[in-house]
Amino acid sequence: MTEGSSLTLACPPGKKLGSIVFASYGTPTGNLLSFQTGACDAPTSLEVVANTCIGQATCTLSATNGVFGDPCSGTYKALSVEAQCVDATATLIGGSVDEHETLVLQCPPSQKIALVAFASYGSPTGALGTYTTGACDAASSVAVIERQCTGQASCSIHADNAVFGGDPCVGTAKELSVAVECMDIYQLRRLRR
């Protein structure tokens, strides 16, 4: 969407915006599913879009310097966003812990962990709903969380090399970031049939 115009994200009936996969206000390139950040990028892009849209069935964003700041004065800018819709009854939970600490995930009452939206043991960045994988990432991250947490009302994951199949980046302090979707137990049963 070009500078000065509005972009509306809309999920189908019964769905809501669950996470923001990509957001860039500046000179992003590519198309949906292959967007890339350009030389000019407002560092607040992901945060602004997430704060405005996560949990909503639809949201409208203005592609303006007033909303995102001016990352490159004198350059014509655009806004590109990729988001994921989730079941409207789903609750996105998660968090981050440093290496050797334990991350506890706890669904709301009568919900269980239905799927892993994001998991990275290494150098992930971002916040819940906007996590992104860093240069260091244990390939087993998602599989480990799925195995330990799917179908549970709560689970604890120790952020340790042994849990994730070895050290993904020797000599680097690591972090574990996880986002999972909790769903009503009834919904979960219906999905598994």
pLDDT in tens, 175-192: 999 999 998 875 545 454
pLDDT digits (tens, 9 = 90+) for 67-119: 999 999 999 999 999 998 888 778 899 999 999 999 999 999 989 998 899 99
* Overall CATH class of domain 91-191: mainly beta
Q: Is pLDDT of 36 > 60?
A: yes
CA terminus-to-terminus distance, the chain: 40
Amino acid identity of residue 152, one-letter, is: Q
Predicted TM-score (pTM) of this structure = 0.69
Q: Do domains 5-87 and 91-191 have the same CATH topology?
A: yes
pLDDT score for 186: 58
Q: How many CB atoms lie within 10 A of CB 166?
A: 11
DSSP line for 90-144: -EEEEEEEETT-EEEEEPPTTEEEEEEEEEEEES-BS-TTT-B--S-B-TTHHHH
Rounded Cα–Cα distance for residues 84 and 118 (Å) = 12
Domain borders along the chain are: 5-87, 91-191
- 5-87 folds as Jelly Rolls (2.60.120)
Rounded Cα–Cα distance for residues 22 and 45 (Å) = 9
